[in-house]
Structure 1
Amino acid sequence: MSAFQTHEGRVAVVTGAGRGIGQAIARSLGERGATVVAIDLRDPVETVSQLTDSGRTAIALTADVSDPEQTAAAGAEVARRFGRADILVNNAGIFPFWDIDELDYEKWRRVLAVNLDSQFLMVKAVLPEMKQGGWGRIVNLTSNSIVTAAPGLSHYMASKMGNIGFSRGLANDLAPFGITVNAVGPTLTITPGVREVHPPEALEAVAQAQAIKRNGQPDDLVGTIAFLTSDDAAFVTGQTIMADGGYAR
């Protein structure tokens, strides 16, 4: 096993893996030797093809990770196919812009369901296999938006603060089982979804507010997540790491 194969023999479940950050994370873990379970609301066939075409092992599951029945079914399928689940990266999320006058309870609950409830549901779905194996790595994606003055994101920021609190609390509960839990917060990252809602001048303004004055790319997250999901991070838990280019706070 080469030094690069830090995840050999592990089964890694990645949500929101169909494109963008999730796709980059899934590809990175697969390249490091993990068997990858790519989950997305849309069939993440492209992500799986990228891995299998290079000789890696990966499967695609289509699921709404805010739905209790679908997440339970996904966990059961992972257990059936592989008999284990070692790594969970909760990446799935949405970021609609609504100011408080536009924001009704249905919209509020949809954002909280996708961004926060899904992390709880996916943990519940794979936790029995992690406990049985006596080893686990959970990484929950949050966002550096929680320290910005961006308008129209009160619902989103609430969900992302929830990701941090959930990660911290869960780390306390799961440490006795050899399972670590951490949160990682990207900056505004250039993905297809981001390009759909942010004009170029907004992207440039974010870049200029960072110590590293360029926009984040999906691959900028993979090193941090690869570390946190490896054996090397055995003593790192309950932490929130902002991989955001040194955004000015």
Structure 2
Amino acid sequence: MSRAGLQGKVVAVTGAGQGIGAAYVRRFVADGCHVVAADLNGAAAQEVAATTSGPGTVEAFEFDVADASSCRGIARHVDSSHGRLDGLVNNAAIFSTIAMKPFWEIPELEWDRLMAVNLKGPWLLVSAVLDLLRAAPTASVVNVGSDAVQMGRSGYLHYVASKGGVHGMTFSMARELGEFGIRVNTLSPGPVYTEVDRGTVSPEQKQAMLAAQALDRPAGPDDMTALAAFLISDESAYVTGQTYSVNGGLVHR
């Protein structure tokens, strides 16, 4: 089902080359948006763009969210193509490739790269596209957090810490950008299973989390897209600074 208030909006999605990111792209195209599918893996973003069709349009863009000059590059591209940015989904993150380990065994370089992508990246990108967000009649930013923060998941403390930072950043961004009419919210998924292989969850852990949920089924990427569409749409025009958990009842705030 398409959502009202999205037709013709210009929306950028980071980490769009696979998994949940690709699902966001498909949803926004189905809702009639002009979507910029941005990913470090340009070929993967091109594949998503080539295989997505609907009332909207989609274009691929290769960039590194952890690099300020690359963020300015996507801002210039959107400016030249559209002149504004109505919605941004900060989805890019390092997660599926993490090898679980005690925090005292995390290599410093791994910590630094993960923080650069997961936490610094959204700050860099929103800063780079701020004038484009201000140029939109109504603009909305969706930062993708994680309910691993509430769960206190062990084995990848740097990921949990980075997403805890994203949650806090949303609160401050919403305060600072409210004067411009720009809304900022966090979509906080629980465990979501996609086509991407994950080294972060064992079969035993998956079963334990499923057993702890109120809903007796695993989440797929499409379970996240309806909320993202609502938060970008004008239907959520008075919603900002909020955190929305999508976890099947696994954890409660």
TM (norm. structure 2) is 0.92
Question: Which residues of structure 1 form unaligned runs of 5+?
Answer: none
Kept after mapping to 1: 8 A contact 2:31/2:56: no
Superposed, 1:40-189 pairs within 5 Å as 40-43=39-42, 44-51=45-52, 53-54=53-54, 56-95=56-95, 96=98, 97-189=100-192
Give the percent of matched residue pairs that are identical in Structure 1 and Structure 2: 37
Structure 1 residue aligned with 2:34: 35
User: Equivalent residue for 1:23?
Assistant: 22
* 3-state SS of 2:169 partner: helix
The reply to whether residue 7 of structure 1 matches residue 6 of structure 2 is yes
Listed one character per residue, the Cα deviations across residues 55-102 of structure 1 (whole Å, up to 9, x for unaligned) are: 531110011111111111011111111111110000001122332222
Q: Deviations over 1:108-143 (max 9, x none)?
A: 111111111110111012110111224210000000
What's the offset of the Cα at 1:50?
Answer: 2.8
Q: Counterparts of 1:197 and 1:131 in 2: how far apart (Å)? A: 38
CA displacement at 1:103 relative to structure 2: 1.4
Structure 2 unaligned regions, length at least 5: none
| Residues 25, 35 of structure 2: 8 Å contact kept | yes
Q: Which moved more, 1:233-242 or 1:204-213?
A: 204-213
One-letter amino acid of the counterpart of residue 88, structure 1 = L
Deviates more, 1:83-92 or 1:99-108: 99-108
Instruction: Flag the 1:116–1:60 CA change in 2: closer, same or farther, 3 A.
Output: same
1:120–1:29 CA distance, 2 compared to 1 (3 A) = same
Helix, strand or coil: the match of 1:193?
coil
TM-score by length of 1: 0.93
Partner SS state of residue 104, structure 2: coil
1:234 lines up with 2:234 in the alignment: no
Query: Distance between the aligned counterparts of 1:4 and 1:88, measured in 2?
Result: 17
Alpha-carbon shift at residue 226 of structure 1 (Å): 0.8
Aligned length: 247
Amino acid at match of 1:25: Y
CA distance in 2: counterparts of 1:207 and 1:140, whole angstroms: 25
